[in-house]
Amino acid sequence: MPAAPADEGDAPMSKSRVEAFSDGVIAILITIMVLELRAPHGAGLAALRPLLPVFLSYLMSFVYLAIYWNNHHHLFQAVRHVHGSALWANAHLLFWLSLIPFTTSWMGENHFAGAPVALYGVVLLCAGIAYYILSQTLVAHHAKDSPLAIAVGRDEKGKISVVIYAVAIALSRFDARIALALYVLVAVMWLIPDPRIERTLAPPSPPTG
Amino acid sequence: MPAAPADEGDAPMSKSRVEAFSDGVIAILITIMVLELRAPHGAGLAALRPLLPVFLSYLMSFVYLAIYWNNHHHLFQAVRHVHGSALWANAHLLFWLSLIPFTTSWMGENHFAGAPVALYGVVLLCAGIAYYILSQTLVAHHAKDSPLAIAVGRDEKGKISVVIYAVAIALSRFDARIALALYVLVAVMWLIPDPRIERTLAPPSPPTG
Amino acid sequence: MPAAPADEGDAPMSKSRVEAFSDGVIAILITIMVLELRAPHGAGLAALRPLLPVFLSYLMSFVYLAIYWNNHHHLFQAVRHVHGSALWANAHLLFWLSLIPFTTSWMGENHFAGAPVALYGVVLLCAGIAYYILSQTLVAHHAKDSPLAIAVGRDEKGKISVVIYAVAIALSRFDARIALALYVLVAVMWLIPDPRIERTLAPPSPPTG
Amino acid sequence: MPAAPADEGDAPMSKSRVEAFSDGVIAILITIMVLELRAPHGAGLAALRPLLPVFLSYLMSFVYLAIYWNNHHHLFQAVRHVHGSALWANAHLLFWLSLIPFTTSWMGENHFAGAPVALYGVVLLCAGIAYYILSQTLVAHHAKDSPLAIAVGRDEKGKISVVIYAVAIALSRFDARIALALYVLVAVMWLIPDPRIERTLAPPSPPTG
């Protein structure tokens, strides 16, 4: 049986399903956090004030999950084929991301106390490491001059993020606000567009409608 | 390595994943609102009466989220390629939409009191502005005579909606029912099909089964 | 600009996104119902007994939502293009389906009392009518000899279901068990495969791996 | 009307929608379990200790659902066409998987007592049988030398898993820890990559970026 054409067609399907599953999980995670924003019993605007820390921690986690979705999207954009080990590296990443609603809720309800802020950082740290493992697992199955290998590169941003998380966790013992400021710093670092990756992936000619 | 054909294939994949993620988030938002419709303890139909305001606010938010999904669907139908800035403009829109279950719940449980009705409008206003930013970000990366640029056009409906939301928020201080009537008016305005957009996107020849 | 090829490519994308959104909503509905199956506090098997009516109503609604997903899948399998009115007919169907978790929960927690059983039937009745409207809206935009028009046909099964729901609602006032038996009857009627539709859609030649 | 090309295009669409629906359901199941990890009221790390059994049961169920998603992904990778009976076999599998959050929650909140651990195994057993029915239903509609039939093979791993579940359920009466150790054993057995299946599905030539 001439399997080659069928297998050629399989590779993108496989990849697209990993993307679809990851999209589903991240979409649910980003959305169920809003269930923690429980409607207050009072009808006045003053009744919203106690919700402010819960809202702010929701906002930070929304941004972090959106960053992860964006990076995941850019990463898989350059992926050509997926192997079994990458499926597990991806599930490992999703596991750590799945704990974000829990740490968000604990941090928000305890008004950014030290231990919840530290645990929030531990989950970010583990997610960062899991993302690094995922990208390296994918690169290992691609050629050294593939768009993926070039796009991932040395991933300095990812490594710096992990170091900042570790520093933030250590400092949260003394002042949780320093840790929070560092989490915001990492998020801002990722929000600023990275022209290098876009250039690697962008079509060489200017697009026409 | 000849990257051009691969990149050609990337563009729609990229777009389809933004659509899939947005579909996921909107599908979850439209569905988790129903969790607020908690089954009453009594078994008689009378036990349902206190749920009426919660049900009506659910109905309004269902229609609004369905309108956003429809418009998002029409918008991306005409999109040919997506850039990093559009991903963030899209995440920004999803953030405001993600607050709709919260404002719906607060409004329903407080029987359409002034402050919750005003906040409901603020979130609609921000979502409307976020949608405008998204569509302009997308148009900026397409040619001026592209189907997208023609379909978006001057987006008068979007601008009028934002103005009506602002008026409704201001009037909710005096009578929340006026604000609610204005929200219904905007929804009806979007429910009426817009022949202009369908015509721009429709295939030129009559379809055959 | 030669728009024809691009539009040719648009039509299935459009359809696939309606499918994806519907899949998302139905997947969430079928899943969040399980949240009503709250773990009992006792650790013995006896602690599960009070959950039996909740479990049985979950089972019935799972089957109904799976039937709707199956029928939706078969219906859109034959669809070639989607218009704005079909998007709204689809949203209308999803609205009624979205109320199933609520009626399931009310019915289960009240041990299949009359009023909750009747309301469960009302939602099924409205969903059945909404499905009929959706299929007719789709057929109206296809040729009379299209696979869709042939597959939908006169939809006698759909019409009979709606009549049985109406009878069940009327009889629930006297004995809720009769209504429940009729709901089970409709579900069984749909579970039995319909060779006519499969034949219309199946490839003419025997498939090979 | 020459239906053949259209039907050729239908088959993968059909398959991709079954995949999308299953992805959605599994993504939601894997995610809503985390809602059971409710943020404790205390802000110290000691407040997390009572959550440990809930966390461990979440971890086990996350791994099991990820295994099911992986296997489902590999299985459908080799599928060429889907029939009505496979849709129901798939819905049957999803039904048993949908009960995992409930049994996870009951097991975690009761600190791995005998009855909850046994019920957890019963649901795993039924899911294992449902997966076997699904794979056999799919194979029955493919040629004996199709990639699917070769990939599924005699499915010894699946049969052994079901036997181990049955033994674990029987032994949970005496010591729940033995049952838990057996559940972990099955999970580890599936986590170890199966070179046979990857080889059957992999493209014959080495991939290039």
Burial class of residue B106 in the structure, from the number of CB atoms within 10 Å of its CB (0-12 exposed, 13-18 middle, 19+ buried): buried
Question: In this complex, which of A31, A38, A147 lies closest to B98 when CB atoms are compared?
Answer: A31
Taking contacts as CB-CB distances below 8 angstroms, the residues of chain D near B1 are 208-209
Give which of A73, A145, A205 to mutate to test B binding, by max B Cβ within 10 Å. A73
CB-based contacts of C165, cutoff 8 Å, min separation 6: C121, C124, C125, C128, C182, C183, C186
Tell me which of C13-27, C129-143, D95-109, D123-137 is least confident: C13-27
Query: What mean pLDDT comes out for the span B125-142?
Result: 93
Instruction: Chain C: list its partners (3+ Cβ pairs within 8 Å).
Output: A, B, D
Q: Which helix (H) or strand (E) holds B4?
A: helix B4-32
For residue C85, give the nearest of B20, B26, B193 by CB distance. Answer: B193
Helix axes B114-140, B100-109, angle to 10 degrees: 160
What is the rounded average pLDDT of the residues B81-101?
93
CA angle, D15 then C26 then C66, to 5° = 70
Query: Which region among A133-147, B52-66, C163-177, C195-209 has the lowest average model confidence (pLDDT)?
Result: C195-209
Average pLDDT over residues B88-115: 94
* Residue C117 confidence class, pLDDT cut points 50, 70, 90: very high
Residue by residue, DSSP assigns chain B as ---HHHHHHHHHHHHHHHHHHHHHHHHHHHHHGGGGSPPPSS-SGGGGGGGHHHHHHHHHHHHHHHHHHHHHHHHHHS-----HHHHHHHHHHHHHHHTHHHHHHHHHHTTS-HHHHHHHHHHHHHHHHHHHHHHHHHHHTS-TTSHHHHHHTT-HHHHHHHHHHHHHHHHHTT-HHHHHHHHHHHHHHHHS--HHHHHHHS-SSPP--
- Can you give the pLDDT at residue B144? 83
Please report how the helices C176-191 and C114-140 are oriented relative to each other, as an axis angle in degrees rounded to 10.
30
Interface of B with C in 6-35 (CB under 8 A): 12, 16, 19-20, 23-24, 26-28, 30-32, 34-35
Residues of B in contact with C35 (CB under 8 A): 35
- If pLDDT is split at 50, 70 and 90, which confidence band does D164 have? very high
Residue D195: predicted pLDDT: 55
Instruction: Indicate if the pLDDT at residue C203 is higher than 60.
Output: no
Q: For B39-80, how does the pLDDT look when each residue is reduced to its tens digit (9 = 90+)?
A: 888 888 889 998 999 999 999 999 999 999 999 998 998 888
Report the residue of chain C nearest B43, measured CA to CA.
Answer: C110
CA D63 to chain centre: 9
What's the rounded mean pLDDT across residues B130-144?
A: 90
Looking at the predicted structure, is the pLDDT value of residue D198 above 50?
yes
The lowest-confidence range among B28-37, C105-114, C151-160 is C151-160
Residue D20 gets the label, from left (phi > 0), alpha (psi -120 to 50) or beta, of alpha
Q: Is D1 on the interface with B (CB under 8 A)?
A: yes
The tens digit of pLDDT for each residue in B166-190 reads 999 999 989 999 999 999 999 999 9
Q: Three-class SS of residue B193? A: coil
pLDDT surpasses 50 at C7 = no
Distance CA A110, CA A117 (A): 9
Q: What is the 3 state secondary structure string of A136-170?
A: HHHHHCCCCCCHHHHHHCCCHHHHHHHHHHHHHHH
Contacts 24+ apart (CB under 8 A), D10-14: D10/C77, D10/C201, D10/C203, D11/C203, D11/C207, D11/D80, D11/D81, D11/D82, D12/A13, D13/C12, D13/C16, D13/C77, D14/C73, D14/C77, D14/D81, D14/D82
Q: What percent of chain B has pLDDT over 70?
A: 85
* Residue C45 in contact with partner chain B when CB distance is under 8 A: no
Distance of CA C135 to the CA centre of its chain: 12
Contact D70 A91 (CB under 8 A): yes
Q: Please give the residue of chain A at the shortest CA–CA distance from D194.
A: A84
Average pLDDT score over residue span D1-16: 43
Q: Does residue B108 contact residue B54 with C-beta atoms inside 8 Å? A: yes
Structure tokens, C131: 């499905």
- Say if CB A102 and CB A34 are below 8 A apart: no
Residue among D4, D95, D146 minimizing CB distance to C204? D4
Task: Find the CB nearest A209 among C1, C24, C209.
Answer: C1
Cα of A66 to nearest chain B Cα, Å = 7
If pLDDT is split at 50, 70 and 90, which confidence band does C147 have? confident
Contacts of D208 in chain B (CB under 8 A): 1
Tell me what pLDDT residue C201 has.
53
Instruction: Retrieve residue D13's tokens.
Output: 């669409």
Chain A contact set for D72 (CB, 8 A): none
Phi, psi of A165 (to 5 degrees): -60, -45
Give tens-digit pLDDT for D33-45. Answer: 998 888 888 888 8
CA D111/CA B168 separation, integer angstroms: 53
Q: Give the per-residue pLDDT at A90.
A: 95
Residue C193 has pLDDT above 70, yes or no: no
Which residue would you say has higher pLDDT here, B13 or A125? A125
pLDDT tens-digit readout, D52-75: 999 999 999 999 999 999 999 989
Q: Which pLDDT band, with edges at 50, 70 and 90, does B193 fall under?
A: low
The helix, strand and coil proportions of chain C, stated in percent and rounded to the nearest 5, come to: 80, 0, 20
Closest CA to A94 of A20, A188, A187: A20
CA A11 to centroid of chain Cα atoms: 24
Please determine, for residue D150, whether its predicted confidence score (pLDDT) is greater than 80. yes
Backbone angle region of C178, left / alpha / beta, with phi > 0 → left and psi within -120 to 50 → alpha? alpha
pLDDT-derived band at C125, boundaries 50, 70, 90 = very high
pLDDT at D206 over 50: no
d(CA B44, CA B47): 6
Which residues of C, range 50-79, sit inside 8 Å of D by Cβ? 59, 62, 66, 69-70, 73-74, 76-77
Is the per-residue pLDDT at C200 higher than 60?
no
Q: What's the whole-number average pLDDT of chain C?
A: 84
Q: With a cut of 70, list the residues of chain A below it in pLDDT.
A: 1-14, 193-209
CA distance C113 to D82: 40
How many CB atoms sit inside 10 A of residue C78's CB?
A: 22
Return the pLDDT at A7: 36
Which of D23, D102, D145, D148 best probes binding to C when mutated, by most C CB atoms within 10 angstroms? D102
Q: Do A24 and D19 touch (CB under 8 A)?
A: no
Structure tokens at D111: 């600190």
Pick the residue with more confidence: C55 or A153? C55
Q: Any chain B CB within 8 A of the CB of C180?
A: no
Give the pLDDT confidence score for residue D193 in this predicted structure. 63
Contacts of C13 (CB under 8 A, 6+ apart): B12, B16, B77
Show residues of chain D in contact with C12, CB under 8 Å: 13
How near does any CA of chain D get to the CA of B29, in Å? Answer: 13
- Quick one: average pLDDT of C122-137? 95
Nearest CA-CA distance, residue C97 and chain B, Å:
10
> What digits encode the pLDDT tens for the residues D97-117?
999 999 999 999 899 999 999
Closest chain D residue to the Cα of C42, Cα to Cα: D110
H helix count then E strand count, chain D: 9, 0
Over 80: is that where the pLDDT of C206 sits?
Answer: no
Note the pLDDT of residue A204: 45
D11 and C209: CB-CB below 8 Å?
A: no
Percent of chain D with pLDDT over 70: 85
Residue D78 confidence (pLDDT) above 90: no
For residue D102, which residues of chain C lie inside 8 Å, CB to CB? 34, 37, 39
What pLDDT is recorded for position B200?
55
Q: Which two tokens stand for residue A208?
A: 């026409």
Interface of C with B in 105-134 (CB under 8 A): 105-106, 109-110, 113-116, 119
Backbone CA torsion sign across C200, C203, C206, C207: negative
To test the contact with chain B by mutation, choose from C14, C28, C97, C134 the residue with the greatest count of B C-beta atoms within 10 A, namely C28
Of A34, A45, A204, the CB nearest to B4: A204
Only one residue has tokens 């093979």, namely D153
B151 → chain A, closest CA residue: A209
